[in-house]
């Protein structure tokens, strides 16, 4: 590959120093680099400038400069273009943005196709209301989170699988439906397990449950899950990867299932599951 769309996070890369250095490595190696205006000309005049909302349809990969949040924000573009993403890490953990700034010279390996791909499961989300169903435009790479919209209230949710129809009732501060890669994020903070990305499952973790049953449930990737708002008010908000706020009305239902497309992360090192956890989360300390 030799055509790349770069997306920097201006709050993480102040002055665009890392972005400029990364672009230079690629451009000097003969690559084509796209970036949105006005950042392109600020970084390097060899970069092809795009209008604010334009996408380079011939790009072969997306490169982000920032943290895992930047990767999540750019995942929608990578999925739309159906290309993999490489994250240059300026964040804290860098679980998905895994190339450190002191290794920018390795970017030339992209032009030699000298890399591996991590294939990550995504979730498709739909809203059911008054007998109608709408599929939401954003796929979840990390999680779909249901939480209370106002302080001092708990949410009452019914979680069921379409195949079994047995409903689990939660009174809690919220509920997280996470992908395996999302199990290392909010779900982990809420007490959920860490899943290898090789495990294809949906992880349902309650947030501060107000009941004795407070365990995570794991569903196979072939399950279609339904979460019903059992409350008598509209005190529940739903987010997809921390974005796309949806406000549920009483008896609204959100349907969550494995999406037909995967999110691909570029990696220069073939790492097993435990070694990633040891490096990023210091589990051995």
The domain spanning residue 206 has which CATH number? 2.60.200.30
Whether residue 283 is predicted with pLDDT greater than 90 in this model: the reply is: no
The two three-digit tokens of residue 126, written as one number: 């739909």
Mean pLDDT value across residues 236-253: 91
Residue 112: phi and psi, rounded to 5, are -100, 5
Q: Are residues 107 and 192 in the same domain?
A: no
113 and 165 in one domain?
no
Q: What is the mean pLDDT of residues 93-119?
A: 92
- Asked whether residue 243 carries a pLDDT value surpassing 90, the answer given is no
Shared domain check, 135 and 108: no
pLDDT band for 126, please (50, 70, 90 cuts): very high
Same domain, 140 and 254: yes
From 13, 28, 44, 68, active-site residue: 68
Confidence of residue 153 (pLDDT cuts 50, 70, 90): confident
Q: How many domains does the chain contain in total?
A: 2
Q: Is residue 274 very low, low, confident or very high in pLDDT (cuts 50, 70, 90)?
A: low
Residues 107 and 36 in one domain: yes
| Residue 284 CB neighbours (<10 A) | 8
Does 52 score more than 90 pLDDT? no
**Same domain for 29 and 153?**
no
Phi, psi of 27 (to 5 degrees): -65, -40
Mean pLDDT for the stretch of residues 232-255: 89
Domain of residue 63 covers: 3-120+262-281
Any idea what the CATH number is for the domain that residue 40 is in?
Answer: 3.40.50.10330
The answer to whether residues 114 and 136 belong to one domain is no
Specify whether 114 is catalytic: no
Residues 105 and 14 in one domain: yes
Does 250 lie in the same domain as 199? yes
Task: Enumerate residues 6+ apart whose C-beta is below 8 A from 103.
Answer: 268
The mean pLDDT value for 163-172 works out to: 88
């Amino acid at each position: 590959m030799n055509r790349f769309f770069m997306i920097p996070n201006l709050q993480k890369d102040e002055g665009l120093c890392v972005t400029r250095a990364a672009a230079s490595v690629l451009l000097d190696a003969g690559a084509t680099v796209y970036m949105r205006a006005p950042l392109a000309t600020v970084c390097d005049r060899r970069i092809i400038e795009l209008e604010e909302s334009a996408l380079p349809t011939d790009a072969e990969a997306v490169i982000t400069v920032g943290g895992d949040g930047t990767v999540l924000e750019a995942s929608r573009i990578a999925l739309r273009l159906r290309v993999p993403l490489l994250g240059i890490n300026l964040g804290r953990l860098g679980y998905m943005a895994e190339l450190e700034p002191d290794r920018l010279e390795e970017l030339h390996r992209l032009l030699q196709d000298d890399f591996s791909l991590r294939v990550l499961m995504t979730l498709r989300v739909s809203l059911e209301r008054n007998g109608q169903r709408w599929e939401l435009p954003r796929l979840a790479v990390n999680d779909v989170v249901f939480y209370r919209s106002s302080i001092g209230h708990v949410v009452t949710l019914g979680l069921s699988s379409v195949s079994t129809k047995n409903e689990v009732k939660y009174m809690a501060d919220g509920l997280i439906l996470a992908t395996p890669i999302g199990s290392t994020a909010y779900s982990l903070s809420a007490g959920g397990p860490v899943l290898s990305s090789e495990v294809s499952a949906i992880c349902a973790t309650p947030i501060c449950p107000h009941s004795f049953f407070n365990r995570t449930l794991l569903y196979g990737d072939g399950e279609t899950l339904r979460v019903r708002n059992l409350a008598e008010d509209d005190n529940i908000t739903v987010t997809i990867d921390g974005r796309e706020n949806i406000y549920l009305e009483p008896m609204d239902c959100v349907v969550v299932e494995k999406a037909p497309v995967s999110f691909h992360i570029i990696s220069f090192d073939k790492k097993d599951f435990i070694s990633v956890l040891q490096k990023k989360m210091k589990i051995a300390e």
